[in-house]
Every structure is written in structure tokens, then in C-alpha cells.
Amino acid sequence: MNQDCVFCKISSGEIPAEKICENANFFSIPDANPKADGHSLVISKKHFETILDLPASMGQEFLDCIKKTSAKLMSDKNASGFNLISNNFEPAGQVVHHLHFHVIPRKDGDGFKIVC
């Protein structure tokens, strides 16, 4: 655990959060500053800074949490799609240096733009 990391504090329960999905090593929560309705984060419980630090042995469990979160958000928000985004390292836009993926539910004509 990183003492100064907001996601480590959420993981440990020091900061309360509404969990959408949770398993042994990952959980998801609504984003504090959503870019679209339902924008949520899938976060590792252990402190890994980027996807490159995640052990391959945890990959299936991570993907399972991402899939369950995405399916629940699509259902709850009546979405017809979703974006999955991960910013790794500052030049790519990573602000919180703790592994997390953004899940953004999408609807036709919602006006949200992703630039790739």
C-alpha cells in the first residue's frame, strides 16, 4: 500500500466508496469526476502503478472485474456500448499513479468524443 495514494486508501476502506463489482484483487467504483453518465473505474486492490506492473497471473481476474463492471453499467445506464481506457504514465495522461481502467458507458448520439 502506498500511504499517499487515494486508490490505496479506498482499497483499505480508509476512504469509503460505493463498489460496483469486487473480487479478491480488484474492485470498481463510480468515477469522482465522470466524463459521461456511469463513468466508472476498475482498480487493483494492491498498488501497481501501471498495467506493466500487474502480474500476468492476475490478468484473468482483472479482465473478469472489467467485464462484470461493463455489463452492469450497460444494463443500469441502458447503454449500447462502452469505452475502456487506461492511461499509463504521465505523458499518456495518468494522474493517479495506481493501476485503473476507465469504463465509460455509451449511447448513440451522446456527444462524448474519444480521440485515438
**Positions marked active-site:** 100
CA gap 23, 19 in Å, rounded: 11
Q: Which residues have CB under 8 Å from 95's CB, separation 6+? A: 87
CA gap 113, 116 in Å, rounded: 10
Q: Are 65 and 42 in contact (CB under 8 A)?
A: yes
